[in-house]
Structure 1
Amino acid sequence: MIELTRLNGSIFVLNADLVETVETTPDTVILLSNGHRYVVREPMEEVTKRILAFRRRVVDHREFSSS
């Protein structure tokens, strides 16, 4: 899960595994594989950075758990 901010300032968490696309139009729009669409304050680069960090934590946890 990653934490993001809606345009109205409310903070929410998003299941990063469902992200299909992230685009700038000029707002950052996230499309999920279930068809839901979110517009957030964070720039596309920041959303991508958070998704990659989330995936690294998952992989690191799996490697640690299997040892």
Structure 2
Amino acid sequence: MNSECLLPEVIDAVIQDGEATADVLPSNEKWMGVTCPEDKPQVMEEIRGLVLAGYCPENLWRR
């Protein structure tokens, strides 16, 4: 697969088709995402920093 799904475009399409609505919530938080394999190391480093700062648990997926 050599393409990405651009969420803003998909969301806009369903809104324009009258199939959904969306609310935009303000936030001062920093956004990060992985859109290609080269992004993964930097995002992993950012998440590790959040864990070390106590902002989130080390294992986000286990309770």
Please state which structure has a larger fraction of its residues in strand: 1
Q: Which structure: larger Rg?
A: 2
**TM-score, normalised by the number of residues in structure 1:** 0.31
